Amino acid sequence: MSLVLNIETATPVCSVALGEEGNLLGFKETADGKSHATHITIFIEELLKECGKSLNDLDAIAVSKGPGSYTGLRIGVSTAKGLCYSLDKPLISVDTMMSMANAFAHEDDRSRLLCPMLDARRMEVYSAVYDAALQEKRATSAVIIDENAFSDFLKSSKVLFFGDGADKCEPILGKHKNARFDVDYQISATSMVSLSAAKFEHELFEDIAYFEPYYLKEFVAGKPKKLIP
């Protein structure tokens, strides 16, 4: 048996989900924005209580490793590490792009490709491409969107674009007959449950002391605003 707490904070959505043997027991989430630090521990406590479980019942803690928001990833990973240290439980990392694609991997249309996208500002997105079996067709990368950005895939296959970076791409990529968009998709820790369970089964754990989020691009701090005397 495996009871895994899953933490997703790579975007403005703060989400936690509890999985047992790869099956979803429950979840808590909000899309309020910059509220991860406020909600994350409360959500974990409430979720465990609602599911009739305790922290000591957990077998592992899984965290969405990125790419995504620098601050959000730091909060999620710090929370996961803290729980692992205090409970002496293993840490599992789940690729954020694969987790997003997993939300669509079991639908009827097995021929289309899946392209999760996260907004990286301006006309850039973090993205990857998977088939319906979650086999990687293009590795996670930062892509500047123009009409040729995914032309190699769109020529031969239907491609579903989704995530908070997809909306701004639709006016450009939507001109192609094979492009599809899911505007209602919201990232969630529920999509991590089966992936973290598989990693637990194969004991694919991270080194808690040295694990860091996958930022993809280095964080660049903005210049502080001058104080008005």
Q: Which domains does the chain have, with CATH numbers?
A: 3-96+187-201 (3.30.420.40), 104-182 (3.30.420.40)
Closest CA to 41 of 51, 28, 31, 52: 28
Helix, strand or coil, per DSSP, at residue 148: coil
Helices (H), 51-182: 70-87, 96-102, 151-154, 170-173
What is residue 182's predicted lDDT score, i.e. its pLDDT? 95
Mean pLDDT of all residues in 59-79: 96
What is residue 172's predicted lDDT score, i.e. its pLDDT? 95
Mean pLDDT of all residues in 164-187: 94
Neighbouring C-beta atoms of residue 42, cutoff 10 Å: 12
- State the pLDDT confidence band at 109, using cuts at 50, 70 and 90: confident
Average pLDDT over the chain reads: 93
Helix, strand or coil, per DSSP, at residue 38: helix
Share of the chain above pLDDT 90, in %: 85
What is residue 227's predicted lDDT score, i.e. its pLDDT? 47
What is residue 222's predicted lDDT score, i.e. its pLDDT? 47
**How far apart, in whole angstroms, are the C-alpha atoms of residue 136 and residue 126?**
15
Helices (H), 23-116: 36-50, 70-87, 96-102
What is residue 225's predicted lDDT score, i.e. its pLDDT? 46
Are 113 and 155 within 8 A, CB to CB? no
The tokens for 167 are 């909306």
The tokens for 92 are 């599992």
Tens-digit pLDDT profile for residues 119-139:
998 889 999 999 999 999 999
The tokens for 206 are 């991270």
The tokens for 40 are 């994350």
What is residue 218's predicted lDDT score, i.e. its pLDDT? 60
- pTM over 0.85, yes/no: yes
How many Å is the maximal CA-CA distance in the chain?
62
